[in-house]
A and B are shown apart, each in its own frame.
Chain A
Amino acid sequence: EVQLVQSGAEVKKPGQSLKISCQVSGYNFTNTWIGWVRQMPGKGLEWMGIIHPGDSDSRYSPSFQGQVTISADKSINTAYFHWTTLKASDTAIYYCARAGSLEADYFDYWGQGTLVTVSS
């Protein structure tokens, strides 16, 4: 059974750093793109970026390029999403999701989401 299990909710202050995780099981982590999607409170979905754990090749949405970092650790089947400097506007639910095709054009399995709250 394919599963993506994300780390728990976080409460941070502006300016702090944060790394959230997504541990997968039930499929070959190394061979499949995995991505991150943001959902701000009461809003829609935003495609942020993806990574291929096999070679760490990554792609980012222009809206998020340079502001966040996606990484992966093949040894523990885990993908990460990292901020160096959080802002209040980063408050949202963040989902990891597995790409359903080699072209990584859609997501077929999703994690449960990690709520990140940034407030002073």
Chain B
Amino acid sequence: QSVLTQPPSVSGAPGQRVTISCAGSSSNIGAGYGVHWYQQFPGTAPKLLIFTNAKRPSGVPDRFSGSKSGTSASLAITGLQAEDEADYFCQSYDITLGDVFGTGTKVTVV
């Protein structure tokens, strides 16, 4: 079990906005470490979606946005599309455990 907790699943209709939370503690996110997000489709390698809390790599649509507040972070997907159906993982640094990934969230477009 990870020290970064995400909801197992979130769902939304096409066009809606969904958010994925990444709950940490004062030993990781709350200590000021950056949060990064990855998208993974079944059978493929993860892809960097957001780095250092809110920055988007080149080529990532601006429908994806990240934020951080206190001991948690969030990934928002606006204008949800069928192609966004995937697993999403947050990542940060923990003072005791080092680099860690979140538990992962499956996004379903209903």
Contacts and interface: CB of A to CB of B under 8 A. Distances in A.
Interface of A: 37, 44-47, 59, 61-63, 95, 97, 100-101, 105-113
Interface string B44-79: 011110011000010000000000000000000000
A80 B107 CA distance: 33
Contacts of B91: 45, 47, 106
Contact-residue bracket for chain B: 20 to 34
A108 B51 CA distance: 9
B100 A47 contact: yes
B34 interface: yes
A83 B34 CA distance: 31
Contacts of B48: 100, 106-109
A105 B93 contact: yes
Contacts of A105: 33-34, 36, 52, 93, 99
A9 to B, nearest CB: 13
B46 A45 contact: yes
Which 5 interchain pairs have the tightest Cβ spacing? Answer: A106-B36, A110-B45, A44-B104, A45-B101, A47-B99
Interface string B12-45: 0000000000000000000001101010100001
Contact of B97 (A59, A61, A100): A61
A109 B46 CA distance: 9
Q: Looking at A61, A101, A110, A113, which has the most chain B CB atoms within 10 Å of its CB?
A: A110
A4 to B, nearest CB: 9
